[in-house]
Structure 1
């Protein structure tokens, strides 16, 4: 009887120990979970997810800024290109000047003279140390008629700061209904200047304008 009772107590004691160990193990696992084993995973996921969002925002901002800059540049270019559009459309001399400079990119025009029929212009252009005399049509056809070494014209071309087209722009400013008759680069008592003469639509003589070829200042105007 005593032996049987002792055996039962021993068995119960062993069972209690095992149960205690099992509970301890469960408790440890739960504690480890509460200590943040899951939280770092959540935080890491949040960090990974937030990074692309930040990058996307930066990319979107950069794209918007780039687009705005492009639009601004385009607007500026359009405004700058429209300055003498009306004058160029009204006066065929612009097409003549463009045709000469397209063929002689390093040339400096020193004279433009419209023939009486207004279909051909005589143009003198300094190229290197030579002056080329050209016949130019409004369609841009160019025929070289002569060339010479005119040291005076060559030097004037080198000294001028204002081009033929710039001088024509200045002389035409505020004047509608006129076309270029003649312009040439001349030295008047030590002042290098562009002398620009216009014809009116009815064929009569138009304004004459003198422009400083170094500063671009209008020196004299004779409206006729």
Structure 2
């Protein structure tokens, strides 16, 4: 019996390691793509860390975050302990939703299952990626300038960690806006990347630092297990 329990625990640990490594790899690949096109001054990274807890997310140039009732999404400083969320880096643990560092974005109390519209004012984005933590299936739907849509979806990862979803426009089209939603209003997002004119562009060194930090975190967790 003890041997069987040990084998089951080992298998679960291996699955968790693979999930973490896959998540980190997806985000690092998104960062790498940003670096490839950073010369066009259109790649961006939004980590929300400059936001004030509870304030509407209305201060990011070139992009807006509104629910279908017209209300702005809100900054959520999870380090304060007022939210049911934890830091992927392990600096605090207050619940089953996960973000990186202290501040993420949540839809706000007025949002519903329709979700949040991430609107690029320039309508010239070609790809978009975001981390998400949700208590149900989660969807990233890109509405393109030719009227078509591209959808990426992920499963419930509440209590597990943050995963990443990415969408890209087909050749000859651009992203008009992106909708983030689940089956209710039980999610938080963080560390968005993509490309669009007018959005603040981080230095390449910052992008690489974040990418290398995520890889280091993955290996550190693997060694801890």
For normalisation by structure 2, the TM-score amounts to 0.26
* Larger Rg computed on CA atoms: 1
Instruction: Give the structure, 1 or 2, with the largest relative contact order (CA under 8 Å, sep 6 or more).
Output: 2
TM-score in terms of structure 1 length: 0.26
Which structure has the highest helix share of the two? 1
